[in-house]
Chains A and B, each alone.
Chain A
Amino acid sequence: MAGFILKRLVQSVFVMLAVAFLAFSLFTFVGDPISQMTGVETSLQDQARLREELGLNDPFVVQFMRFTGDMLQGDFGYSFRTREPIGAMLLSRLPATLELGVVALVISLVVGIPAGIYTALRPRGLVSQSILIGTLIGVSIPTFVIGILLIFLFGVQLGWLPTFGRGGTVQIGWWRSSLFTGDGWRSLVLPSLTLGLFQLTLTMRLVRAQMMEVMRTDHIRFAIARGVPWRSIRYRHALSNTLIPVITIIGLQFGGVIAFSIVTESVFQWPGMGLLFLESIRFVDIPVMSVYLVVIAFFFVVINLLVDLLYVAIDPRLRVRESA
């Protein structure tokens, strides 16, 4: 087990290095940070001096080595745009993104799993068909359009919910939370619905397909033949077998929720890491963009690692293969 974890950890380091390298090399094509940092009246000499001071004239390899070296020492550098330390910048934006992601995930599970079970057990019912068609339309419309539609319906026309931002927040240590005020929750509704809709559809369809398949397996048929009560068959025997692959997929998808909250955050001016990333692209803030991507890669790596470990814990066959 320890060997397995160690192996995965070493792999993870290489994954992150590769991401850092790709990110860094891509960003050299994004644009010129100097022309974004200086005013129109700044002379070419002053621009050149700034370029030299920031080390932008150094060869790509040198810049990359410096970046990774600093990162390894925990020095994330400073933003070109605001001159803030990037570590603190990302940390201050992290709670917003995580809270949005978690609430979106919870919505997708709380609605998606029961809806999946229902549509699996009554595949031909009118309600099932409308749920399926409705969610299909939902995922087919791009996220930003859904967001704008929700904003104009609930924010502008009905005036029920705020259109942007996090609303009232509470500071708990360095963590700024919108989960403890009514205003904060009202602000969370629309963005988390927007972000969670795709997840919801995915979860629902996955549960539905798995459930229908499990219901056809031999042990369920046998249980039916034995006269085990329907309730027990469905919710004890079938559901538990259904959920194992579902949990895996959902775990992996959570990384995606965090990474792809960029669009939702931009539509709702939600002050998370995704919005920060977009602002950084606009200003060619290369250090912030690079660190952001490495952090996102880190999320994926950690989540993958946890899922792998869960696999080993759940599935006895994997443990046997490891020890063999």
Chain B
Amino acid sequence: MFRTTLPTAALALSIALLSATPIAAETFRWAGTTDPQTMDPHAVNAAPVLSFLNNVYEGLVRRGPDMNEEPSLATAWEALPDGAGWRFTLRQGVTFHDGAAFNADDVIFSYQRAASEASDVRSWFASVTDVVRVDDYTVDFLTSAPNPLFPGSIANFLIIDADWAVANGAELPARDAENFATRNANGTGPFVLAARDPGIETRLVPNAGWWDNAAHNVTEAVFTPIGNPATGLAALLSGEIDLISPIPLQDVAQVEGRAGFKVQAGLETRVIVLGFGHDHDTLKYSDETDANPFRDPRVRLAVAQAIDVDTIDRVIMRGAAEPASQLLPAGLSGYSDQHADRPAFDPDGAKTLLAEAGFADGFSFGLMCPNDRYINDEAVCRAVASMLARVGIDAKVNAMPVRGYWDELRAGNFDMYLLGWSPGTFDAEHPIRFLAHSRTERLGTWNFGGYSSARIDALLAPIQQEIDPNARQAMLDEAAGILQDDVAYVPLYTEPLIWAMKDSVNVVQRPDNFFMLRWVSVN
């Protein structure tokens, strides 16, 4: 679905947007559940912040409606010889919102700011050894090893005006106390930050001097965070706001049933998976704690076969999700087409596998689950538990708010857990780096169960460095195969994206759930 319909729809829509003559629109109001914590593009690496700030600031590279990389502040980029890094040719004649000219100094300053210890986005530059100014409009990013994915991996690296930041004492991102850049912004993007009232309202106005052709027809845009979903729905239905993202699945029918409103649903890039305590010697939440059955791949496969993902999709996700077979959704770069099948739903086969592994009588264990992080997360866990109960293993679901969840997982307090993963680089290397590689200080940091495969560990560096796409894909296929054979995780489904809006509003729903005002048109 993702692979075919989404980019096509997005493309069709963007063509429609470009060809239609924009009609003068009034203020566009939209709401989300979370307020961006800061207006500083380097202080917090979180989707609400980066999504919002991509309207105000711009990177060297940006992503189009179907996530394709396209030129932004850089007009072109090419790999330096011998994999020494990348050369970016910068766009000339671009000005920041305050009128200052954009050039290589701003890029170098922004790099130093974003790679500093006070920054939360410095992991993007882990491979960068130096940034060299070649001339006013050429910059070289030197990397310690060949890095074919580098341009795409810095699509959210937003460029801030050097002189403005220095003049206002915002040389570094705010670490404890706020600074000028926390509430003010000076980017090159299509919208200018006009007023910022944290937690209440943020106003944007179009940037008249934007270098690109504006495809939107918004004259002013106002963002309001509305935390309570029922309040958000009421605000939309009463006409006070034009768009809200996301809305709960159970409210979709309400919106669609009303004249003048519509729901736009797509697939996000987040895959929901089940993880196991691979390195646990015993089960922590079992009545029979003599061993950890999940160390046996047959038991893990039995779990995968016992879960009927289609039913979960139909009943709990109302058909909006898409069953997944790997740690990233189908259609993203590096996805392995050879391994597109997930284990078939086969409860009898699962029982046979459990018997072979010596657990014919079943066992009980603890399933950890967040209850406010993913769409209907707790309900999914309960459904999984009831499906596993049918093959004789008894999952005790422990659902908790996400604010304490990661702590519990890091402390190893689980036998099985639910996790959602959205690859920040939109490439298959990302989940391997964070979920599949053995746990170290910098790699495998979200591999809570301590899955470890020598071959996966050995494959990661070549995957990161291989320039030839075919050779790279071969390695990614191998890694996907290992993860499936080992049943390191049980991928369940790709999460849906559900936005609700007035009929008069046209938007492009990018799979990374970023809300880009430059594609909004209001009739």
Q: A25 within 8 Å of B by Cβ?
A: no
Determine, out of B91-99, B130-138, B228-236, B298-306, the stretch whose residues face the partner at the interface.
B228-236
Q: A26 within 8 Å of B by Cβ?
A: no
CA distance A39 to B234 in the complex (A): 31
CA distance A139 to B365 in the complex (A): 43
Q: B122 within 8 Å of A by Cβ?
A: yes
Chain B 79-94 residues near chain A, CB threshold 8 A:
none
Q: Is the CB of A268 within 8 A of B231?
A: yes
Q: In the assembled complex, which residues on chain B have CB atoms less than 8 Å from the CB atom of A267?
A: 228, 230-231
Looking at the complex, which one of B199, B403, B406 makes contact with A271 (CB distance below 8 Å)?
Answer: B199
Q: Is the CB of B403 within 8 A of A163?
A: no
Chain A, residue nearest B121 (CB) = A39
Q: Is the CB of A279 within 8 A of B227?
A: yes
CB of B401 to closest CB in A, whole Å: 7
Q: In the assembled complex, which residues on chain A have CB atoms less than 8 Å from the CB atom of B404?
A: 29-32
Q: B37 within 8 Å of A by Cβ?
A: yes
Given contacts A35-B406, A271-B200, contact A266 B228 (CB under 8 A): yes
Q: Is the CB of B234 within 8 A of A156?
A: yes
Q: Is the CB of A82 within 8 A of B237?
A: no
Q: A257 within 8 Å of B by Cβ?
A: no
Chain A 64-122 residues near chain B, CB threshold 8 A:
78, 81-85
Q: A140 within 8 Å of B by Cβ?
A: no
Chain A 253-291 residues near chain B, CB threshold 8 A:
266-269, 271, 275-276, 278-279, 281-284
Q: In the assembled complex, which residues on chain A have CB atoms less than 8 Å from the CB atom of B445?
A: 43-44
Q: B175 within 8 Å of A by Cβ?
A: yes
CB of B233 to closest CB in A, whole Å: 9
Given contacts A82-B37, A156-B237, A269-B227, contact A43 B407 (CB under 8 A): no
Determine, out of B176-184, B289-297, B489-497, B510-518, the stretch whose residues face the partner at the interface.
B176-184
CA distance A275 to B224 in the complex (A): 14
Q: In the assembled complex, which residues on chain A have CB atoms less than 8 Å from the CB atom of B224?
A: 164-165, 269
Given contacts A32-B406, A39-B120, A42-B120, contact A85 B228 (CB under 8 A): no
Determine, out of B38-46, B277-285, B451-459, the stretch whose residues face the partner at the interface.
B38-46
Size range of the chain A interface in the assembly: 35 or more
CB of B13 to closest CB in A, whole Å: 29
CA distance A34 to B495 in the complex (A): 26
Q: In the assembled complex, which residues on chain A have CB atoms less than 8 Å from the CB atom of B441?
A: 43-45
Q: In the assembled complex, which residues on chain B have CB atoms less than 8 Å from the CB atom of A148?
A: 230-231, 234
Chain A, residue nearest B424 (CB) = A41
Chain B, residue nearest A35 (CB) = B406
Q: In the assembled complex, which residues on chain A have CB atoms less than 8 Å from the CB atom of B178?
A: 78, 82-85
Q: B111 within 8 Å of A by Cβ?
A: no
Given contacts A35-B406, A163-B235, contact A40 B182 (CB under 8 A): no
Q: Is the CB of A163 within 8 A of B442?
A: no
Determine, out of A46-54, A130-138, A220-228, the stretch whose residues face the partner at the interface.
A46-54
Looking at the complex, which one of A162, A275, A283 makes contact with B403 (CB distance below 8 Å)?
Answer: A283
Q: In the assembled complex, which residues on chain B have CB atoms less than 8 Å from the CB atom of A43?
A: 123, 126, 441-442, 445
What would be 17 A-B contacts, judged by CB atoms less than 8 Å apart? Answer: A32-B404, A41-B121, A41-B424, A43-B123, A43-B442, A82-B38, A83-B37, A83-B43, A83-B177, A156-B238, A162-B238, A164-B226, A266-B228, A267-B228, A282-B403, A283-B403, A284-B403
Q: B240 within 8 Å of A by Cβ?
A: yes
Given contacts A31-B407, A163-B240, A164-B226, contact A42 B123 (CB under 8 A): yes
Q: Is the CB of B446 within 8 A of A40?
A: yes
CA distance A37 to B445 in the complex (A): 16
Q: A175 within 8 Å of B by Cβ?
A: no
Interface string of B120-161 (1 = CB under 8 A from A): 111110100000000000000000000000000000000000
CB of A78 to closest CB in B, whole Å: 5
Q: B57 within 8 Å of A by Cβ?
A: no
CA distance A84 to B126 in the complex (A): 29
Chain B, residue nearest A36 (CB) = B403
Interface string of A148-170 (1 = CB under 8 A from B): 10011001100100111100000
Q: A38 within 8 Å of B by Cβ?
A: yes
Q: What is the total of A-B residue contacts with beta carbons within 8 Å?
A: 142
CA distance A114 to B234 in the complex (A): 34
Q: Which of A45, A46, A83 has the most CB of B within 10 A?
A: A83
Q: In the assembled complex, which residues on chain A have CB atoms less than 8 Å from the CB atom of B123?
A: 39, 41-43, 46
CA distance A159 to B235 in the complex (A): 11
Q: In the assembled complex, which residues on chain A have CB atoms less than 8 Å from the CB atom of B442?
A: 43-45
Q: B28 within 8 Å of A by Cβ?
A: no
Q: In the assembled complex, which residues on chain A have CB atoms less than 8 Å from the CB atom of B239?
A: 159
Q: In the assembled complex, which residues on chain B have CB atoms less than 8 Å from the CB atom of A45?
A: 441-442
B-binding residues in A (CB < 8 A): 29-32, 35-46, 49-50, 53-54, 78, 81-85, 148, 151-152, 155-156, 159, 162-165, 266-269, 271, 275-276, 278-279, 281-284
Number of interface residues of B (CB under 8 A): 49
CA distance A83 to B121 in the complex (A): 17
CA distance A49 to B38 in the complex (A): 21
A-B contact sample (20 more), CB < 8 A, given A159-B238, A164-B226, A271-B199: A31-B401, A40-B45, A41-B123, A41-B424, A41-B434, A46-B117, A83-B37, A83-B38, A83-B43, A83-B175, A85-B178, A148-B230, A155-B234, A155-B238, A162-B240, A163-B231, A163-B238, A165-B200, A267-B230, A276-B199
CA distance A281 to B402 in the complex (A): 11
Q: Is the CB of B120 within 8 A of A82?
A: no
Q: In the assembled complex, which residues on chain A have CB atoms less than 8 Å from the CB atom of B235?
A: 163-164, 269
Q: B505 within 8 Å of A by Cβ?
A: no
Interface string of B196-222 (1 = CB under 8 A from A): 001111000000000000000000000
Q: Is the CB of A269 within 8 A of B228?
A: yes
CA distance A131 to B225 in the complex (A): 38
Q: Is the CB of A279 within 8 A of B199?
A: yes
Q: In the assembled complex, which residues on chain B have CB atoms less than 8 Å from the CB atom of A165?
A: 200-201, 224
Chain A, residue nearest B176 (CB) = A78
Q: In the assembled complex, which residues on chain B have CB atoms less than 8 Å from the CB atom of A151?
A: 230-231, 234
Q: In the assembled complex, which residues on chain A have CB atoms less than 8 Å from the CB atom of B126?
A: 43
Q: In the assembled complex, which residues on chain A have CB atoms less than 8 Å from the CB atom of B446?
A: 40
Q: In the assembled complex, which residues on chain A have CB atoms less than 8 Å from the CB atom of B46?
A: 39
Q: Is the CB of B403 within 8 A of A82?
A: no
CA distance A136 to B514 in the complex (A): 47
CA distance A50 to B120 in the complex (A): 10
CB of B414 to closest CB in A, whole Å: 16
Q: B174 within 8 Å of A by Cβ?
A: yes
Given contacts A37-B44, A81-B37, contact A32 B231 (CB under 8 A): no
CA distance A36 to B44 in the complex (A): 10
CB of B180 to closest CB in A, whole Å: 12
CB of A73 to closest CB in B, whole Å: 16
Q: In the assembled complex, which residues on chain B have CB atoms less than 8 Å from the CB atom of A163?
A: 231, 234-235, 238, 240
Looking at the complex, which one of B227, B228, B231, B424 makes contact with A40 (CB distance below 8 Å)?
Answer: B424
Chain A, residue nearest B425 (CB) = A41
Q: Is the CB of A49 within 8 A of B117?
A: yes
Chain A, residue nearest B403 (CB) = A31
Chain A, residue nearest B174 (CB) = A83
CA distance A35 to B120 in the complex (A): 12
Q: In the assembled complex, which residues on chain A have CB atoms less than 8 Å from the CB atom of B240?
A: 162-164
CA distance A83 to B40 in the complex (A): 11
CA distance A32 to B402 in the complex (A): 10
Chain A, residue nearest B440 (CB) = A44
Q: In the assembled complex, which residues on chain B have CB atoms less than 8 Å from the CB atom of A275?
A: 199, 227
CB of A285 to closest CB in B, whole Å: 10
CA distance A29 to B234 in the complex (A): 34
CA distance A3 to B239 in the complex (A): 59
